[in-house]
Amino acid sequence: MKTVFVGLSGGVDSSVAAALLKEQGNQVVGVYMKNWSRDLPGMPCPWKDDYQDAKRVAVQLGIDFKMYDFEKDYQHKVVDYMLAEYRAGRTPNPDIMCNQEVKFKLFLETALEDGADMIATGHYAKTKDSKLYMAKDKNKDQTYFLYRVTKEALRKTIFPLGELTKPEVRKLAKKYNLVTADKKESMGICFVGKVGIKDFLKEYEKTRPGRIIDQHDKQVGEHDGAIFYTIGQRHGLDVGGGLPYYVVGKNMKKNEVYVTTDLQDEKLWSNTLNLTDAHWINEEPSSKATNLVVRTRHRAKLILVKSLSKPAPHQNVSKKVSNQILKHQAFGVGSSNTKWTVELGEEVRALTPGQSAVIYAEEQVLGGGIVV
């Protein structure tokens, strides 16, 4: 019998994961991770409700229940990192950082010290022999958010939902009569429930209006803060008349946002990915590999990788990439000091600095890096 500590978030997925593990004969302990509790004006943080739902599920299942308070670590490792990236004009993914630094590092280490043999979460993913694979439910697959997990962490991790679809999970929740069976999924930022990123940033950043400039170097409008805009964005620009505008760049020092009405604008499209701070779960992929595909954002289609390469050790990376790496290392993102170049089989729209690109060999997740 294994002692498995399950991360109970108060949602249906982690609830079913705990139920399945108990049914399989494990000694299960439910753990609620308190990562964030700050209320925002008019938008109370839902952590107390989630905590109570997690506790109710533990009572229903007859398992022990604990709360780990990771709020200080979370502020530094995830929130501070996210804010620094936005201030630099990039668009980070806090869910990926949360998985790397909190769920599969801090939670894992704390649980093992507390008597666990393994940990488990409600992620839709599969692991075998310390390798990470896509879930059966390709629509819910969450491996994009898990690519920075280590093989050592995977060796101690169980994903009970890997072979299930979301409808099957809902059906099991009703079968077990769980209080979370009909609970809606939380959308928005990973740690503040329904709050959108713009509302969150407004609480931390003093912004000022600035110019929106089109492809002809003409001012076409005014924005409310360059920090709020991301590459490829179309909505929320408030630039009236004629063709829709797309964000193609921004200058944080000048507080300017650059747009185009030309959907074929070369600034919007690229068939080359430059990545920094690469993380490979098991080993670096071979430059001769022929079966690789890449995903440039969650639920985006998989794109064929024509080639994958990195500079030789004696080659210098560009100043831009070096600065990017230093910024990431300040928040413990990783230790890579080289960039990887990925040549794509087709052009991709709106590659966004700060986002992640994840590389797969068929259904196995090899790893990935952060878009420069």
Query: Closest by alpha carbon to 131, among 94, 113, 157, 106?
Result: 157
For residues 71 and 65, give the distance between their C-alpha atoms in angstroms, rounded to a whole number: 18
Q: What is the 3-class SS of 170-202, one letter each residue?
A: HHHHHHCCCCCCCCCCCCCCCCCCCCCHHHHHH
Q: Where in the chain is the domain with CATH 2.40.30.10?
A: 269-371
Q: Where in the chain is the domain with CATH 2.30.30.280?
A: 207-260
**Comparison of pLDDT for 336 and 146, the residue scoring more:** 146
- pLDDT for 293-325, tens place per residue? 999 999 999 999 999 998 665 444 445 544 544
Would you state the structure tokens that stand for residue 324, as one six-digit string? Answer: 């990017």
Query: Closest by alpha carbon to 305, among 367, 354, 232?
Result: 367
Confidence of residue 192 (pLDDT cuts 50, 70, 90): low
DSSP state of 43: B
Confidence of residue 43 (pLDDT cuts 50, 70, 90): confident
Contact in structure between 177 and 144 (CB atoms under 8 Å):
no
229: left (phi over 0), alpha (psi -120 to 50) or beta: beta
**Superfamily designation of domain 3-175:** HUPs (3.40.50.620)
Contact in structure between 212 and 239 (CB atoms under 8 Å):
yes
Q: How many CA atoms, within 13 angstroms, populate the side-chain half-sphere of residue 318?
A: 11
Residue 157 — φ and ψ, nearest 5°?
A: -120, 140
Confidence of residue 69 (pLDDT cuts 50, 70, 90): very high
Q: Distance from first CA to last CA of the chain, Å, rounded?
A: 46
The residues near 364 (Cβ < 8 Å, ≥ 6 apart) are 131, 132, 133
What is the CATH class of 207-260?
Answer: mainly beta
> Looking at residue 306, what is its pLDDT?
96
Mean of per-residue pLDDT scores for the chain? 90
Catalytic machinery residues? 98, 190
CATH architecture, domain 269-371: Beta Barrel (2.40)
> Looking at residue 190, what is its pLDDT?
54
For residues 369 and 371, give the distance between their C-alpha atoms in angstroms, rounded to a whole number: 7
Q: Where in the chain is the domain with CATH 3.40.50.620?
A: 3-175
> Looking at residue 197, what is its pLDDT?
82
For residues 143 and 130, give the distance between their C-alpha atoms in angstroms, rounded to a whole number: 14
- pLDDT for 70-112, tens place per residue? 999 999 999 999 999 999 999 999 999 999 999 999 999 999 9
For residues 74 and 99, give the distance between their C-alpha atoms in angstroms, rounded to a whole number: 11
Which whole number is the average pLDDT over 28-40? 92
